[in-house]
A and B are shown apart, each in its own frame.
Chain A
């Protein structure tokens, strides 16, 4: 049981991603020839006291790094997703669709939208992998 967000949780996520055939299959073109790395900026609320930055490095269907960043400027992601802790939690729990949240504006996203559209299957697989392991949450 890993606390979201924490380094332990990031390690679990990386492990889940690298053992998920759907991620490997749908992500084989992701990050190839472009920066496919992400920072998820989780805004405070619902038990989270200060902004957390989850960094995910993904290319060719593999996750090579997942970590909590102390300083978001330490990395140069291709995609930045900004949302509140209360909005991220249902996605992590597998209760809400991440892409729907992006499209409806629940999450702000910076990066190449065409890559998101073209690789929706991979992004959905990445989001689904989060709910494949058990988590615990702040404020619950």
Chain B
């Protein structure tokens, strides 16, 4: 009988090692996380339960160190998207909030740690922290209160609305500004990758800057966690930077290259978001399969009723299609020699927006349809459909929201000139 492992995962693209890492995460999730999953929802303010579990994933299972270079103590995994995709699927199947918190620990650092654009000096400085025995968490601080997703709309706004500034004074960058909503902000993150401009209002790519700021630097302050609809394992707060000084070398690359390699992080984020959607949908699939098999209505299992079978079919198709598409783009990023895409290509960012949008819509539809057929049981906490239903919504809201994803996808496929 088919199960979640029968949805598309091209065997020739995913090594046994990567698949086995997925199994490790699945086993860990079943044993360590699922028993307290409902309690995690109440832990949004303090993360007393979540932080030790993040340590188990990021430190004990080696996810934090996976992509750091060997010289910096990392595993230096090749084909980063294959592993990222599997991690996101497996963790999101357990809890997409936990997945977000874990994967975002290194997401903002990808312009710094991935080949061929590694900043080895910074890898050697921060690698031992991320690859050590203690939990050390990264946070990608992008969004700002005034401009929201505009920061990510680089194709049209080109950084014009970024209000967080990096000013070079002697041998230091001085950071001033206000970020809002970053994953792992508040009491979780130890190192921020801050999206800044060196000149307010500029659209010059050279003025876009990615600067590392340790969370304990003087002048950094954070707000209280936001209480959200879902994804409680992902802590989001405001961060203020008030004349925060960091060494000049903390700028990841420099004029032009910061933006160039940041684009790769955005494409990674789009594909990882889609993988999370697939992971959630796989969990939904498991729940509704069990439910519609065991629940007997009018003398036969629920799934044997044609309207229910229609819903089950739709959910399976959504998973299969999103999964296949996501693997294709992950492969494109991991193998530029085959795909022809530079991983930081601006147009690849636009293209991956379509995948993220499709997967967002798919998971929203799958959760909603499952709840329709489970009725009040689906709405009850006991069966976790309502958890996925609450958690998944934000995947469609982050990284520019559905509006930006739609526009950029159209921009790619139709050469839009004004949007």
Contact = CB atoms under 8 A, between A and B. Distances in A.
Interface bin, chain B: 20 to 34
A74 interface: no
Interface string A93-137: 000010110111100110011101110110010000000000000
Nearest to B25: A114
Contacts of A109: 16-17, 20
Contacts of A100: 76, 78
Contacts of A124: 70
B24 A112 contact: yes
Nearest to A120: B75
A99 B62 CA distance: 14
Interface string B274-288: 000000000000000
Given A103-B77, A104-B78, A114-B60, A120 B65 contact: yes
B24 A114 contact: yes
A103 B74 CA distance: 14
B172 interface: no
Interface in B24-77: 24, 28, 59-63, 65-66, 70, 73-77
B206 to A, nearest CB: 35
A116 to B, nearest CB: 8
B79 interface: yes
Interface residues of A, number: 18
Contacts of A102: 15, 17
Q: Chain A at the B interface: mostly helix, strand, loop or mixed?
A: helix
Given A97-B76, A100-B78, A103-B78, A117 B15 contact: no
B18 interface: yes
Interface string B295-326: 00000000000000000000000000000000
A113 B28 CA distance: 12
Interface in A63-103: 97, 99-100, 102-103
B62 A120 contact: yes
B60 A105 contact: no
Contact of B73 (A97, A99, A114, A121): A121
B60 A121 contact: no
Contacts of B77: 99, 103
A117 B28 CA distance: 14
Contact of B16 (A108, A114, A118): A108
Contact of B20 (A97, A99, A113): A113
B21 A117 contact: yes
Nearest to B66: A117
Given A113-B24, A121-B70, A103 B15 contact: yes
B70 A114 contact: no
Nearest to A29: B133
Contacts of A97: 70, 76
Contacts of B61: 114, 117-118
A117 B61 CA distance: 6
A22 to B, nearest CB: 11
A26 to B, nearest CB: 9
A103 B62 contact: no
B75 A117 contact: yes
A102 to B, nearest CB: 5
Given A113-B21, A121-B73, A105 B62 contact: no
Contacts of A118: 59-62
Contacts of A121: 70, 73, 131
A43 to B, nearest CB: 15
A85 B31 CA distance: 39
Interface in B396-412: none
Contacts of B60: 114, 118
Which 8 A-B pairs rank lowest in CB-CB distance, beginning with the nearest?
A: A117-B62, A105-B15, A120-B75, A113-B20, A118-B62, A114-B24, A100-B78, A114-B61
10 contacts: A103-B18, A103-B79, A105-B16, A112-B24, A113-B20, A117-B63, A117-B75, A118-B62, A120-B65, A120-B76
Given A103-B79, A113-B17, A121-B131, 6 more contacts: A112-B24, A114-B60, A117-B21, A117-B66, A118-B60, A120-B62
Interface of B: 15-18, 20-21, 23-24, 28, 59-63, 65-66, 70, 73-79, 83, 131
